[in-house]
Structure 1
Amino acid sequence: MPGPPVSWVGLLLIYLIPAIKINYWILGLTLFLTIIIVVLDYVLPSKGTKHFGGSKYGVWGTNIGLIIGLFFPPFGFVIGPFLGAFAAELIYNSKDANGALKAAIGSFLGLLASSFMKILFCFLLLGIYFVVFFLNLEIWF
Structure 2
Amino acid sequence: MESIYWILISVIFLVGFIGLVFPIIPSVLFIIGGMLLYGVLFSFEPFNWLFWSVQIIFVLLLFAADYVANMLGVKKYGGSKAAIWGSTIGILAGPFIIPVIGLLIGPFAGAILAELIVHKKDFNTSVKIGLGSVFGFISSVAAKAFIQLLMVGYFTIEVL
Partner SS for 1:104: helix
CA distance in structure 2 between the aligned counterparts of 1:52 and 1:46, rounded to whole angstroms:
10
- Unpaired runs of at least 5, structure 1: 137-141
Matched, 1:14 2:38: yes
- TM-score calculated relative to the size of structure 2: 0.67
CA distance in structure 2 between the aligned counterparts of 1:90 and 1:34, rounded to whole angstroms:
34
AA in 2 matched with 1:24: W
- TM-score calculated relative to the size of structure 1: 0.75
AA in 1 matched with 2:111: A
The equivalent position to 1:99 in structure 2, one of 125, 132, 154, is 125
Alpha-carbon deviations, 1:22-45, whole Å to 9, x = none?
323212321342144135424532
In the TM superposition, residue 78 of structure 1 has moved relative to its aligned partner by: 2.8
- Unpaired runs of at least 5, structure 2: 1-18, 20-25
Higher relative contact order (CA 8 A, sep 6+): 1
Tell whether the 8 Å contact from 2:104 to 2:134 is kept in structure 1 after alignment: yes
CA RMSD of aligned residues (A): 2.5
In the TM superposition, residue 20 of structure 1 has moved relative to its aligned partner by: 5.2
Tell whether the 8 Å contact from 2:61 to 2:147 is kept in structure 1 after alignment: no
The equivalent of 1:82 in structure 2 is 108
AA in 1 matched with 2:153: G
Tell whether the 8 Å contact from 1:48 to 1:106 is kept in structure 2 after alignment: yes
The equivalent position to 2:72 in structure 1, one of 47, 58, 62, is 47
In the TM superposition, residue 113 of structure 1 has moved relative to its aligned partner by: 1.3
The number of aligned residues is 133
